[in-house]
Amino acid sequence: MALQACDIDDVSMKGQIFRFAPSPNGYLHLGHAFSALLNRKLTMAAGGALLLRIEDIDPDRSQRHFEAALIEDLHWLGLDWSETPRRQSEHFAQYRRALDDLVQRGVAYPCFCSRGEIAKTCATSGDASRDPDGAFLYPGTCRGLSPAERERRFLDGQRFALRLDMAKALAEITLLLTYREFRESNVAAEIIPKPEIWGDVLIGRRDVPASYHLACVLDDHIQGITDVVRGVDLEPSTALHRLLQALLGLKTPNYHHHRLVLDREGRKLSKSKGAPCLRDLRAQGVSPSQVREELSRRMNVPL
């Protein structure tokens, strides 16, 4: 399957292209601000282009008013981007084509199991192994279903998701997988990822035609992203992303996984745990320069 990277402009295509990719499922907090500002800093240092991507692939949680709010907050921080933001929800057809390609090649298969059924199977077998996201490693219940049995379940209208057959996927890769990791420095380290820690991971969900992992690598390729700057909490995903890039013939960007902004108890800032959001700080009269100064002090990184 061939995907073409989009043209931005002749100048930016000769340099580096960064992206900030928030999900519109809540208001931005200081952790998001640090990642966005670090993206801007590295973009400016490279003389490159910064893009905004709206990762609204989850229809249950993504809301347009959150999208409008995050764009307003980013402008308030002083960020701008080189083209119209890309919304994942507008590109489901591209993700579906990639999924179909993997299914046709036999490296992805339909899974009819619910989360509860998977948990029960793992409990019965005594295998509590989990992937980096905390989900039980899939026990392979549907991996060996015959074509006839799969067809019967399709005709019965059983709901299904699509999983990557990790063993078959790894068997397709003939070259050693690597990627370049910079963290917050300008010195690269060559990393050999281990995507097998994800097991037969979900790559196509019941309600949308792609998982975060698949949509992310496709978007990075299509947008011509050369450098991915994101939190260290997403670093385990890079192993899986590198495998998907190899399977689909996609470009591999450089990665810069940065430290996280923590609360007073040393925990990652979270929307769900009520981390102070930027719009609240704005309402309190905090200025963008004060936010930058506070984050620079906390993270010991000039922004």
DSSP string, 233-256: GGHHHHHHHHHHHHHHT----EEE
Please list, in sequence order, all residues whose beta carbon lies within 8 angstroms of the beta carbon of residue 18, skipping any fewer than 6 positions away.
39, 42, 43, 46, 48, 49, 50, 51, 225, 226, 227, 228, 229
Q: Are 99 and 214 in contact (CB under 8 A)?
A: yes
Instruction: Report the DSSP pairing between strands 254-258 and 49-54.
Output: unpaired
What would the mean pLDDT of 119-138 be, rounded to a whole number?
Answer: 92
What local confidence, expressed as pLDDT, does residue 7 receive?
41
Beta pairing partners, 77 = none
Provide the mean pLDDT of the chain: 92
Q: Are 268 and 260 in contact (CB under 8 A)?
A: yes
Q: Is the pLDDT of residue 72 over 50?
A: yes
User: In the structure, what pLDDT confidence band is assigned to residue 14 with cuts at 50, 70 and 90?
Assistant: low
Q: Is the pLDDT of residue 9 over 90?
A: no
Cα distance between residue 61 and residue 102, in whole Å: 27
DSSP secondary structure of 133-169: TSPBPP--TTTT--HHHHHHHHHTT---EEEE-HHHH
Q: Which domains does the chain have, with CATH numbers?
A: 15-88+272-303 (3.40.50.620), 91-218+236-251 (3.90.800.10)
Cα distance between residue 246 and residue 252, in whole Å: 8
Query: Around Cβ 53, how many Cβ atoms within 10 Å?
Result: 21
Q: Is the pLDDT of residue 77 over 90?
A: yes
Distances (CA, A) of 300 to 229, 233, 257, 261, 296: 17, 19, 16, 11, 5
What local confidence, expressed as pLDDT, does residue 272 receive?
67
* Nearest of 131, 148, 143 to residue 168 by alpha carbon: 143
* Nearest of 225, 233, 265 to residue 16 by alpha carbon: 225
What local confidence, expressed as pLDDT, does residue 254 receive?
98
Listed as own residue / partner, the contacts of 269-273 with beta carbons closer than 8 Å and 24 or more positions apart are: 269/29, 269/30, 269/31, 271/25, 271/26, 271/27, 271/29, 272/26
What local confidence, expressed as pLDDT, does residue 208 receive?
80
Q: Are 113 and 119 in contact (CB under 8 A)?
A: no
What would the mean pLDDT of 258-269 be, rounded to a whole number?
Answer: 87
Q: What digits encode the pLDDT tens for the residues 194-227?
A: 999 999 999 998 778 899 999 999 999 999 999 9
Cα distance between residue 81 and residue 278, in whole Å: 19
Which region, left, alpha or beta, applies to residue 209 given φ > 0 means left and ψ of -120 to 50 means alpha? alpha
Q: Are 111 and 137 in contact (CB under 8 A)?
A: no
Q: Is the pLDDT of residue 245 over 80?
A: yes
Longest dimension (CA), the chain: 64
Cα distance between residue 248 and residue 152, in whole Å: 29
The predicted model scores a pTM of 0.92
